[in-house]
Structure 1
């Protein structure tokens, strides 16, 4: 009977409201990061008398701005989810990215998850009843409520512990 394996159930999944809040908070952090990195590059360039770099950053065309923004977006999601299994927004909403058995995703899974965010209509994938986007489905990951996941895993591993009076 000990051969059973823990799997994510719907009751631990983050709600659509939490997922939407994650998106809004992450976009604010990413916007701040984009401005901060750009400003830092300009300040360092001017401090080192490298006015060509400073001028280039200040006069980027639309394609360069989009490429720069997408690079920051990719690095933000990839690095935070590889190292912490969560972005800053997920930290605020107390959610976390996990695999189907509740463990930390592999680097490959996070890479696929991050690339999948760039699918053109990926945002529409949340219109269904289950709060999983294409970047979740394609990478085999789930965004769950961290405390509820921990409680479910404890119950799965020690069901008799939950039947006792406290």
Structure 2
């Protein structure tokens, strides 16, 4: 019942700088994952004497590398947000993903968010006056400052318990 009264306001939204930093830091972590997993596959292939697999990874075409990279990026965003409501970058910038009432979004919302990240030029969509990207709008989610959200929710709950 108390969730119905709470609504995300513009002052809770992550800033444009936080959104840019989230994108940039996540990009770095995705590249690290891509390189780490590729190297791990090569090392495992060499350890089990599977030189064909090792050679295939070393000689992947640009299309294969692009497809592999998209899969890693998709899994990174989808899984980290689905289970933690934040990526590694959001952890660093103290931001989190929520619904309009401040609750954790559904798995479907996170899936939609992740799919929308691959729309061309989507990464620039949060540079408007209100820093909400297309992946936020289409999934009906918000990236907010976690500390401020917790303080407001705590104060709201305190007011409700004081009245009762």
Provide the rounded CA distance (Å) in 2 between the counterparts of 1:96 and 1:125: 18
The equivalences for 1:43-62 within 5 A come to 43-62=43-62
Runs of 4+ in 1 over 3 A off after TM superposition: 159-162
- What TM-score does the superposition give when structure 1 sets the normalisation length? 0.92
Give the superposition deviation at 1:126: 1.9
> 5+ unaligned residues in a row in structure 2: which ranges?
none
Aligned residues: 162
Cα deviation, 1:30-53, whole Å, max 9, x if unaligned, reads: 111100000000000110111111
CA RMSD of aligned residues (A): 1.9
1:4–1:104 distance in 2 versus 1, CA, 3 Å: closer
Give the superposition deviation at 1:161: 8.7
1:48–1:60 distance in 2 versus 1, CA, 3 Å: same
Give the superposition deviation at 1:157: 2.5
Residue 66 of structure 2 corresponds to which residue in structure 1?
66
Cα deviation, 1:71-112, whole Å, max 9, x if unaligned, reads: 000000000001100000000011101111111111000000
Residue 25 of structure 1 corresponds to which residue in structure 2?
25
1:29–1:4 distance in 2 versus 1, CA, 3 Å: closer
The equivalences for 1:1-166 within 5 A come to 5-159=5-159
Provide the rounded CA distance (Å) in 1 between the counterparts of 2:57 and 2:84: 31
Q: Give SS of 2:143's match.
A: strand
